[in-house]
Structure 1
Amino acid sequence: MSTPTPPRRTVFLRPSSYREHRTISDVLRTETVGGALLLGAAVLALVLANSPLRELYERVRDFHFGPEALHLHLSIGHWTADGLLAVFFFVAGVELKRELVTGDLRKPSAAILPVVAAVCGMAVPALIYTLINTTGGGEANGWAIPMATDIAFALGVLAVIGTNLPSALRAFLLTLAVVDDLGAIIVIALFYTADLSLLPLGGAVLLLALFWWMQRRRIRGWYLYLPLAVVIWALVHASGIHATVAGVAMGLLVPCLTRAGEQESPAERIEHAIRPWSAGLAVPLFALFSAGVPASPDDLAAVFSNPVGLGIVLGLFLGKSLGVFGGTWLTARFTRAELNRELAWADVMAVSVLAGIGFTVSLLIAELAFTDPGVIAEAKAAVLAGSLISAAVAAILLRLRNNRYRRLWEEENRDDNHDGIPDIYQRFDETGAVVATDGDTAADPGSPAPSRHRPA
């Protein structure tokens, strides 16, 4: 009697589908450029805040303008945090909707790994911060600061160190950041909301319904949506909920499926139009007016000696590393799944350390969690320190494996027939002609698939 063939085990961190590969490539290309601008803005902010121009920098940052009657007489710093970051969160909302509807997160088997890893990567840093501050007499309200991963900053680091990170690891990092953004949105809405005002909140909900109806009817015209978005944002701001939540809500209402006669969905079209503004303008300007904190030796020493600073630094560096790696390993262990044979657990650890870069959202939550300017400055300095430590250690780990990454990257992007589509996503007949391009699957890593490659 023949022995039954055991069921095939799920492979984690395998290459994505060709459709997802194209989408991720476009996203990463824009975010990498935005990451470089973000790094530059953060460095410029630190230079200005620690130079003879510090007083001028602070005067510009604290300059107020806007209609007082609408409670919008805000400083430039607050306009960038409450206003420009709404654009960033709008893109995050569209991206999350796309991942849930058409991306890898729509498949439970593919979603379980990054979702569990992201949740553990948020929970462990928050736990570390809370333990340090409750036992050390610090400010426990900042527990959410080390939870988030900044994908733009992480990609900027990858661009600087010149690593050829395989697409599976890049997609894993991107999905982690998407789930992190969702967690940050929920945390901001539930735990960092001021006194709630129901009248403006009700008005925002009604206009969000109008936004949804216009999207469903495929009504176009930026001149219609821009005023509507501004009013929704203003109403959410007046309701007491942080105004960036308005951006997320609108992003989640954008349709992600195409209809007959459409070459791309509204989500794809809007994301292509808005993402460069988010990555290239909104986030760097926020960094310019938020990352300018004192960075003298005494200030840096205080970061590592006070509970707030120490909790943030250890949360970002140790918490993220242990949370993401531990969540990934436990998921693989208890689902009897196996890692892509082309990768190693050392690669997962390197990406887990890289996820400890928590710049943009961490700085935002630092401003929401505390009211004392001194504590806010200390928290921001700790975010910078923790992110830089994570970036430096991740750079070392990734560079140690870069020769292997380069080989995998070249294989993934090989295009022998020069048709603009990597051969890994194509099937060839015995003559070498393309017979199919895969839309939903890629070659199974580590398994022989001769039909996907050109014959020798």
Structure 2
Amino acid sequence: MLRIPSSGCSPIWACDLSDEQVPKAFDLLSRESRAPHNFLERFVRVEARAAGLILGAAALGVFIASMPFGADFTHRLETSHLRSIISEVAVTGFFLLVGLELRREAAHGALSGAIARVLAFAAVAGMAVPAAIYLLLVRSPSTPGASSGWVAVVATDIAVATAIIAISGGGAKSRTAHLRTLLLTIAIFDDIGAVFALALFGSDAPNLLLVTVILAVVAAYAALAKRLHLGGWAVAAVAATVCILSIQAGLHPSLAAFAVGCAVPRVKAPGTKEPIDERIERGWHPWIAGILLPLFVFVNTLVPLTLRAGSPAILIAFTAVAILLGKVMGVGGVLLMARKSLKISVGEAITLGIAAAAALTVAIIGVEATVAGTVNAQPVSIGILLATLIAVVAGITVGRATNRKQVSSSTSREL
């Protein structure tokens, strides 16, 4: 049985490792000596390491689905309801983390000020432009009923995106850390937008009575948690409750889970040095990012590369183009205009835009919420995988080229 860790226990991918120390990842005894002092840096490191598991899970899902036994395997997952259970648990855990991160960043003032407003605008542009391109492309008579899939093209997978920045950064650690910080802030605003997009466009007409009950449960938890210093198990119980109620109410569970994360109190329990919200996030984050999300990606990328009858192949290209072009134009364009204020180069702005096009996990959540069960689900999913693959290769290539150019320019000035 999997035990949810306390603040002192985390999976290996949560360890704080420098680039030179990665081969020593299994040296568990020295894990604590490498614990990062910066919460943001720890968060990004966990995401970057989980990216390998997420990409591997996606590749494995496509591989199994393309095998002769793939259809039977997928059918068994569906009929046993295991796929839906994994999906709902992973989605709830993910958006709970988003709520926790938003609360922590807001408390530290990281989401206020002129720079944060620029990054928020970049996130909004990074959602609006891909959606607009997608909706423009799917007006074609060859893709009927595909318009609701726009929700799937607006998101950024922070795990894969941060891995792109980490790999492309080379030895320029200070620059990599700066770019990661910018990217994470954009991703927080991006995730907030995804929450409301899923809630508004990925849900049926809600049962208002159950919605009222959900609000009451979250409000009661918020009041009691601060007074009684309720910890992780209370959060898990409340999150599970609102997830079940949301499904029964016809709502996507993302918004309710997000609300629970925001409601976790930022107070210190007696005898502890760390606020409850940070302790829960630090303990749970590696397990959600490193286990639940890869499982979610695996069961939802059981997509054979051979399209079934009636699925429009052109939708693969439409989806990939909307994500790649939209993110580079939206996120990269805004960062390019504000590069002097953000202290980044043209190449770094473009690299961040490309990295934002890694739209794997949240994009698949969007597919499940909007076009699942239709002939459009498979081509949209393949388009997401294609866009993510291109973003990884292009992001690392452009990032490394930019880094080499900056190192060369710096060396020339010194000489």
TM-score, structure 2 normalization: 0.81
- Counterpart among 111, 125, 136 of residue 131 in structure 1: 136
- Counterpart among 107, 113, 119 of residue 101 in structure 1: 107
- Counterpart among 231, 235, 242 of residue 252 in structure 2: 242
- Counterpart among 237, 262, 281 of residue 227 in structure 1: 237
SS in structure 2 opposite 1:143? Answer: helix
Aligned position for 1:364 = 365
Return the alpha-carbon distance in structure 2 between the equivalents of residues 219 and 27 of structure 1: 24
Contact 2:199 2:252 in 1 (8 A): yes
Q: Deviations over 1:402-443 (max 9, x none)?
A: 3467899xxxxxxxxxxxxxxxxxxxxxxxxxxxxxxxxxxx
Aligned position for 1:322 = 329
Aligned position for 1:413 = none
Aligned position for 2:79 = 63
Q: Deviations over 1:222-248 (max 9, x none)?
A: 444433332222111111111222211
SS in structure 2 opposite 1:185? Answer: helix
Return the alpha-carbon distance in structure 2 between the equivalents of residues 142 and 223 of structure 1: 36
Structure 1 residues 338 and 195: alpha-carbon distance in aligned structure 2, compared to 1, 3 A threshold? closer
Return the alpha-carbon distance in structure 2 between the equivalents of residues 88 and 363 of structure 1: 13
Aligned position for 1:384 = 385
Contact 2:97 2:258 in 1 (8 A): yes
Q: CA deviation at 1:214?
A: 2.3
Aligned position for 2:47 = 31
Q: CA deviation at 1:78?
A: 1.6
1:6-17 equivalent positions in 2, closer than 5 A? none
SS in structure 2 opposite 1:374? Answer: coil
Return the alpha-carbon distance in structure 2 between the equivalents of residues 97 and 324 of structure 1: 23
Say yes or no: does 1:110 pair with 2:115.
yes
The runs of 5 or more residues in structure 2 that have no matched partner are 1-35, 410-415
SS in structure 2 opposite 1:233? Answer: helix
Return the alpha-carbon distance in structure 1 between the equivalents of residues 336 and 228 of structure 2: 43
Say yes or no: does 1:184 pair with 2:185.
no
Return the alpha-carbon distance in structure 2 between the equivalents of residues 219 and 59 of structure 1: 44
Contact 2:226 2:267 in 1 (8 A): no
- Counterpart among 80, 88, 113 of residue 86 in structure 2: 80
TM-score, structure 1 normalization: 0.74
Say yes or no: does 1:169 pair with 2:179.
yes
Say yes or no: does 1:141 pair with 2:141.
no
Q: CA deviation at 1:251?
A: 0.5
Q: CA deviation at 1:259?
A: 8.5
Return the alpha-carbon distance in structure 1 between the equivalents of residues 236 and 110 of structure 2: 31
Q: CA deviation at 1:262?
A: 5.1
**Which residue identity does 1:60 align to in structure 2?**
R
Contact 1:163 1:405 in 2 (8 A): no
Q: Deviations over 1:238-279 (max 9, x none)?
A: 111112222111011123365897522222111011101211
Say yes or no: does 1:353 pair with 2:369.
no
Q: CA deviation at 1:57?
A: 2.3
1:296-445 equivalent positions in 2, closer than 5 A? 296=306, 305-306=313-314, 308-331=315-338, 338-340=341-343, 343-403=344-404
Return the alpha-carbon distance in structure 2 between the equivalents of residues 114 and 35 of structure 1: 23
Return the alpha-carbon distance in structure 2 between the equivalents of residues 197 and 144 of structure 1: 22
Structure 1 residues 163 and 192: alpha-carbon distance in aligned structure 2, compared to 1, 3 A threshold? same
The alignment of Structure 1 onto Structure 2 pairs a total of residues equal to 367
Q: CA deviation at 1:218?
A: 4.4
Contact 1:102 1:256 in 2 (8 A): no
* More moved, 51-60 vs 28-37: 51-60
Structure 1 residues 215 and 403: alpha-carbon distance in aligned structure 2, compared to 1, 3 A threshold? farther
The runs of 5 or more residues in structure 1 that have no matched partner are 1-19, 65-74, 409-456
Q: Which one has the bigger helix percentage?
A: 2
Q: CA deviation at 1:156?
A: 3.6
Structure 1 residues 194 and 339: alpha-carbon distance in aligned structure 2, compared to 1, 3 A threshold? closer
Structure 1 residues 339 and 244: alpha-carbon distance in aligned structure 2, compared to 1, 3 A threshold? closer
Contact 2:229 2:269 in 1 (8 A): no
Return the alpha-carbon distance in structure 1 between the equivalents of residues 88 and 337 of structure 2: 38
* More moved, 94-103 vs 167-176: 94-103
